[in-house]
Chain A
């Protein structure tokens, strides 16, 4: 009986997370267009609904009703399943992420995390890296040279930034002594001065940069950069299959935002009079805004520059950071 209760609770939480995050991902596309527009002194979408708000619904209808084209020479099953992989892995990664502090609803304590496993941080990063199969399989099955180039770039990029993510996050883990995101959050109780960002500034910067690479955001969006590889892996896609890739990308963006907030910026601990849940929302919103801000402010870099910066600059810095942290801890 108890097992069934846990199962039902987990199912309800999973459905809520998927629904809310998918909705947020859709809304993020609208925010992105608006923010980019304001930064470039334009208005952005204005015609559909008040202040262009219903543009979201219009885009949704367009995506769902568009013809789903599969190219003649493509490997059909793989071509069709690739976007699903991209979206699913983005959501599966969220299973181990705590969003808010626990609260009581109708006399029942609710932990806003789907599954509290011991190795949550490693799990989230691992599953997010499996998300590379979306672009990879899409590129290889499309029978299109631009797609293949995009897929090759996706693999190169992943092999480069994964090292930086893993090494940069090692230093904070050494200080905390746990991989559980709840422990990491509890380590930073006690106001702004206890945030890990002050103790590990270098790790913070490295992890943030690797986060930008992981979500394929500018300035590291080499795998779908229009001027070089048309739309990269997504060249042959249309309609909702194309949409699924981007739901996955925005969901990944939200995961990275939550992860950075928990790891380095105090997580869901309350600050002064602001409750923890609101703090979390503020931080995640700030990070999503930062993703858009950087896109508006910085030019793209080439894949060779990306690899150069990963292997020759960021990785040694991460190793030095671990070394210093080790000496300080001893």
Chain B
């Protein structure tokens, strides 16, 4: 019974939070609500006894990704409202409602057909982490390694883009400093 109560509480909180994200004009509200919503989603994982995924949800989405978003936001004045350019409200609303209905239909189709079966049913006495590890390093090894390589490529390209002219900039600064020292 408590699980049902917890589910509805978390569901209401999550929908409320993401509602704020979409409707708010203030970037800071939207950001805090998004972080809150991400944390409330992890509640569902905990209800389903998938503690590992729940914690990963908190660590990755709320911890790392949102912190980066926030870092980007610091370059704007977040205390002011954002004026949005919306040409036609009708198109925006109808498109968003249509896509929402589509997502619900896609996700609910297997539930209606009652053909949902766990490919890897959880084994009694084996922990969450071990199960994920076994599946990750047997069946999904190639996608896992590919994702790792993709991240590596992204990281290296990020470093290259950021440090392209780093030496030049540093040299310019030194010259400027010397100029200042010599009173030019």
Contact = CB atoms under 8 A, between A and B. Distances in A.
Contacts of A309: none
Nearest to A130: B62
B79 A123 contact: no
Contacts of A125: 59
Interface in A136-190: 136-137, 140-141, 143, 148, 151-152, 155-156, 158-159, 162, 178-179
Nearest to B76: A140
Interface in B64-81: 64, 66-68, 70-71, 73-74, 78-79
Interface residues of A, number: 35
Given A3-B2, A141-B79, A78 B32 contact: yes
B29 interface: yes
Given A118-B52, A122-B59, A132-B67, A78 B74 contact: no
Contacts of A129: 59, 63
Q: Do most interface residues of chain A lie in helix, strand or loop, or is the interface mixed? A: helix
Contact of A159 (B52, B58, B67): B67
Interface in B138-167: none
B129 interface: yes
A43 interface: no
Nearest to A129: B63
Interface in A91-150: 117-119, 122-123, 125-127, 129-130, 132-133, 136-137, 140-141, 143, 148
A130 B59 CA distance: 8
Interface in A74-95: 74-75, 77-78, 81
A303 to B, nearest CB: 13
Given A118-B127, A140-B70, A141-B79, A126 B58 contact: yes
A7 interface: yes
Contacts of A119: 51-52, 55, 128-129
Interface in B8-66: 26, 28-29, 32, 35, 39, 46, 51-52, 55-56, 58-59, 62-64, 66
A13 to B, nearest CB: 16
Contacts of B1: 3
Contacts of A148: 74
A151 B32 CA distance: 14
Contacts of A155: 67, 70-71
Interface string B121-147: 000000111000000000000000000
Nearest to A7: B2
Contacts of B68: 159
Contacts of B26: 75
B2 A143 contact: no
A126 to B, nearest CB: 4
B71 to A, nearest CB: 5
Residue among B28, B63, B66, B127 having the largest count of chain A Cβ atoms under 10 Å: B63
A91 to B, nearest CB: 15
The 5 closest A-B pairs by CB, nearest first: A126-B59, A129-B63, A126-B58, A122-B55, A117-B51
Given A126-B63, A162-B63, A178-B127, 14 more contacts: A3-B1, A73-B79, A78-B29, A118-B128, A119-B52, A126-B58, A129-B59, A140-B74, A143-B79, A152-B71, A152-B74, A155-B70, A158-B67, A159-B68
28 contacts: A3-B2, A7-B2, A75-B26, A75-B28, A75-B78, A78-B32, A117-B46, A117-B51, A118-B128, A118-B129, A119-B55, A119-B129, A123-B51, A123-B55, A123-B58, A125-B59, A126-B55, A129-B63, A133-B35, A133-B62, A137-B32, A141-B28, A148-B74, A151-B74, A152-B74, A155-B67, A158-B67, A178-B127
